[in-house]
Chains A and B, each alone.
Chain A
Amino acid sequence: MSAVLQSLVNQPYKHGFVTDIDSDVAPKGLNEEIIRLISSKKNEPEWLLAFRLKAYQHWLTMTEPSWQNVHYPKIDFQNISYYSAPKPKKKLASMDEVDPELLRTFEKLGVPIHERAALAGVAVDVIFDSVSVTTTYKQKLAEVGIIFCSISEAVHNHPDLVQKYLGTVVPVGDNYFAALNSAVFTDGSFCYIPKGVKCPMDLSTYFRINTEGSGQFERTLIIAEEGASVSYLEGCTAPRFDTNQLHAAVVELIAMDDADIKYSTVQNWYAGDEKGVGGIYNFVTKRGLAKGRNSRISWTQVETGSAITWKYPSCILRGDNSVGEFYSVAVTNHFQQADTGTKMIHLGKNTRSTIVSKGISAGRSNSSYRGLVRVAPTADGARNYSQCDSMLIGDQCGAHTFPYIQVNNNSAVIEHEASTSKIGEDQLFYFAQRGIDAEEAVSIIINGFCKDVFQQLPMEFAVEATKLLSFKLEGSVG
């Protein structure tokens, strides 16, 4: 790799500060007592405690998966604190009462909540460590019948909805990390869009892990009733610690007839240093159920952070004519590892899915696309189009593609395209010969490469993602 590329990819992480806020941290370790403690701290109803304990019992019988193409030392699940909450000075009634230190954190992150919310018309739910700090615009959304709040609030205020849907898309025993999450999740976002309502603004959540040695296990549940539509954004950062932190989230989406859920993620967890020390283990289960006819679930993700990313935002296309989409950019640098992709499960007739995956590897990182397209015997006329492109920067990184295709219906049409390219001296020289320096050239090449995905992001996020990628490949972010 040239000296220019080397210097571009070796700069420090910008979000690696720790906010000095009193935290209420549970003792490390995992057992029934801890789960009961979490549940009681949150004043949860009995059914939710039962849900957690059932998940915990499942988890005890399971073993950590090892099929993924990532390598890390065994996680000691007894050495993690499963609950960490910023100690509120008092009950928060408005944004002005949020701990100013916390607000400064978000400003450092480039998330000036009120201005941003006001100017952009984005409703923001902020999850700090495990607890939802504040949700803006709740009132305005409530006027059209939309519920947007932390999942803890939803448990208290809308227990029937939560109980009805929680764990229906990702069952408690679905997989090792989903079971863990179901046992210990502490907060997350809840969103309910009633029949026929088009959500008037993008909904947004920012996640941050602040406390060393704590895990973050958030739970997100989004329900779009018949004819409803919503665009939901999440962003993530974490301070830099030399120890690895575990982030095991579960996201469940449910779309009824003619409903439309678009879920966009810009993930920039701390990725570890240039030697591979520290960083977040991002083991996430995200799944959408396109339950109704003509429903649509669309995942867009820009994954730039985390020491290890292991996630497959998936769609179960149960409703006839339902549509599943997955647009992904995964960037790895230094010693980062990403094994990410999607599952498209075609059950209904004339269901369609699109997969566009762009993997960018630099440094000594490894990036894998793993995707499953399954067409059930019932899915007459199913169609899938997959495109998986990899770009390598330098000669010490790796890109891998693992497409799995299972078709049990003769009328299905499946297309898969893949490519691998490399940013080399000759590309950079071409730009240089037109007066354009290497840094800008890399940024343009990468943004061009990712264009198909970026244009799926809401405008505001697209700008952020473009910047993030430039930073990332300067190396300034992780």
Chain B
Amino acid sequence: MIIENSKTILSVQGLCASINGIEILKGIDLIIKSGEIHAIMGLNGSGKSTFAKVLTGHSDYEVTAGSITFEGNNLLELPPEERARAGLFLAFQYPIEIPGVANTQFLRLAYNTIQAQRGKEELDPLEFDDFVREKMKLLEMKPDFLDRSVNEGFSGGEKKRNEILQMAILEPTLSILDEMDSGLDIDALRIVANAVNHLTNKDNATILVTHYQRLLDYIVPDYVHVMQGGRIVMTGGKELALELETRGYDWVQTNRQSISGAIA
């Protein structure tokens, strides 16, 4: 939701980043305020997943210019774990598997780490069990899931649900959901989207990184940005996604000047 005079959560200015000397992001500007949901759309290779990784501090990428300010703090000074503790969350497109580590153990460790950072009470295994089971209802997950190793042998849909479960547990200020809809059947997509809608509120914000408009039928964005060649080339409301769906990304190429000009 767009709220008058709500506070700025994320401010990105002139952000350039490269990997192995190859520039991927070529000057990104983006302001996100509390309560808002932003969709970042674009073709493969447009730089949208890179943007998500640069925001969260992946060490493969080097920021060569620009700034990222998160709730007034310079994010570029923080290592990835401190960005996470500060309230920045990335739901991974391809979550890793951790054999031999029970999901509940991993979730509790992450939860307690972030609770400690916030000066809040940590939970012992029994308390955490009650807490996490409540959250799991939101994602319609089976209880056996807690004892299984993190993401090991999970279906694509289970992995995505696990990511959103972590979002539910960690209560981040800004969540970046990278290709949340890939690998999800329609029922799972509905469950995941419902959970995300349940978790968004006036005090947090969400970035949906997606290829297709399909996800946006379920999670309705306040803004849609189109990325191309490492830049945001077009910004509009939720109707822009529909326009893209019918006209294709080629259309952006020819109209980028006029439309982004009009919206700005």
A residues with a Cβ closer than 8 A to B are 2, 421, 425-427, 429-438, 440, 444-445, 447-452
Contact = CB atoms under 8 A, between A and B. Distances in A.
Given A430-B95, A433-B90, A448 B81 contact: no
Contacts of A425: 58-60
Interface in B62-111: 79-81, 84-85, 89-90, 92, 95-96, 98-101, 106, 109-110
A387 B90 CA distance: 35
A436 B99 contact: no
A450 B95 CA distance: 21
Contact of A434 (B57, B58, B84, B101): B84
Given A421-B99, A434-B170, A448-B100, 10 more contacts: A425-B60, A429-B58, A432-B81, A433-B56, A435-B110, A435-B113, A436-B81, A436-B110, A445-B98, A450-B100
A436 B100 contact: no
Nearest to A438: B81
Contacts of A447: 100-101
B59 A448 contact: no
A395 B149 CA distance: 26
B101 A444 contact: yes
Given A425-B59, A444-B106, A444-B109, A435 B117 contact: yes
A430 B117 CA distance: 18
A470 B75 CA distance: 30
B16 interface: no
Contacts of B80: 429, 432-433
B189 interface: no
Nearest to B101: A448
Contacts of B92: 430, 433
28 contacts: A421-B99, A427-B98, A429-B58, A431-B81, A432-B57, A432-B80, A433-B56, A433-B81, A433-B92, A434-B113, A434-B114, A434-B170, A435-B110, A436-B109, A436-B110, A438-B81, A440-B109, A444-B98, A444-B106, A445-B98, A445-B101, A447-B100, A447-B101, A448-B98, A448-B99, A448-B149, A449-B99, A452-B100
Interface in B89-147: 89-90, 92, 95-96, 98-101, 106, 109-110, 113-114, 117
Contacts of A436: 81, 109-110, 113
B166 interface: yes
A437 B81 contact: yes
Contacts of B79: 432
B28 to A, nearest CB: 20
B253 to A, nearest CB: 32
A435 B95 contact: no
A451 B100 contact: yes
Contacts of B101: 444-445, 447-448, 451
Contacts of B114: 434-435
Nearest to B96: A430
A435 B85 contact: yes
A450 B92 CA distance: 26
Nearest to A424: B96
Nearest first, the 6 closest Cβ-Cβ pairs linking A and B are A448-B100, A448-B101, A434-B110, A432-B80, A451-B100, A435-B113
Most buried by A among B81, B149, B166: B81
Contacts of A2: 59
A427 B90 CA distance: 14
A426 B96 contact: yes
Nearest to A431: B81
Contacts of A430: 92, 95-96
A434 B100 contact: no
Contacts of B117: 435
A395 B101 CA distance: 24
B50 to A, nearest CB: 13
Nearest to B81: A432
A356 to B, nearest CB: 12
Contact of B59 (A429, A451, A452): A429
B218 to A, nearest CB: 24
A438 B84 CA distance: 13
Contacts of A451: 100-101
Contacts of A444: 98, 101, 106, 109
A452 B149 CA distance: 13
A436 B150 CA distance: 15
A421 B152 CA distance: 13
A2 B90 CA distance: 22
A432 B81 CA distance: 4
B178 to A, nearest CB: 11
A433 B99 contact: no
- Most B Cβ at <10 Å: residue of A435, A444, A448, A450: A435
